[in-house]
Amino acid sequence: MYFQYYLMGIILLPGLILATIAQIKVSKSFSAFSKVTASCGKTAAEVARMLLDQKGLNDISVIKTNGHLTDYYDSKKKVIALSSSVYNSSSIAAIGVAAHEVGHAYQYAEKYVPIKIRQAVIPIANFASTMLWPLVVLGLIFNFAVFPGNIVGDVLLWCGIAVFGLSVLVNLATLPVEYNASNRAIKTLQLTNTLTQEELNGAKQVLKSAALTYFASLVISMLNLLRFLLVFARFRSDD
């Protein structure tokens, strides 16, 4: 029995290793190219503003937010928030990150289908995670400590499967959105001659490293779902 629990923990290990590698790659690539100043001489905030204006997205503000690589686009507030290490920087890395966030603004403006799917799934997943986690814990208690194999426990464990399943769905919806935003960023920087070809290669490395973190999140969510399914199967086999 204890071996089964160890196995369930080991299942998650490849995802954790991948996530660690992805984070190291992001840190290394951003650190390396944050030291290389782009020949255009513009700051990341200026580039973001320029790219937004070219698409007629004058209603979107570019602001500074605290933290390191905490950049995001808020479609409701119409705000692109650039982190302290990005906003005033003229580095290749900073401009690549800023262009990526502008890529998200383009997606919303063009009603890009995957981002609509992601926008619809995330609130459902957040609600499910909040509401169902207590039921998941109760399901484990019912099956393990009180009434092994009972119907109530099974139903509650199915709630857990739903939580992890929705997490996988969110990450599946997120992956194409993030890759597309990065592709838009590189294409736009190239078309506007904001970065030279050599500088674009550096920006690509930064954005590819960042994209790997989203892939790692997907892998971890899938392994978590598998792990919970194994827990469920083990309790059912004890029935």
User: Catalytic residue positions?
Assistant: 101
Whether the Cβ atoms of residue 22 and residue 209 lie closer than 8 Å to each other: yes
Greatest CA span in the chain, whole angstroms? 68
In the block, tokens 């320029």 appear at 50
Cα 181 from chain centroid (whole Å): 12
Nearest partner of 42 among 94, 108, 113, judged by Cα: 94
Q: Which residues contact 78 (CB under 8 A, 6 or more apart)?
A: 59, 60, 61
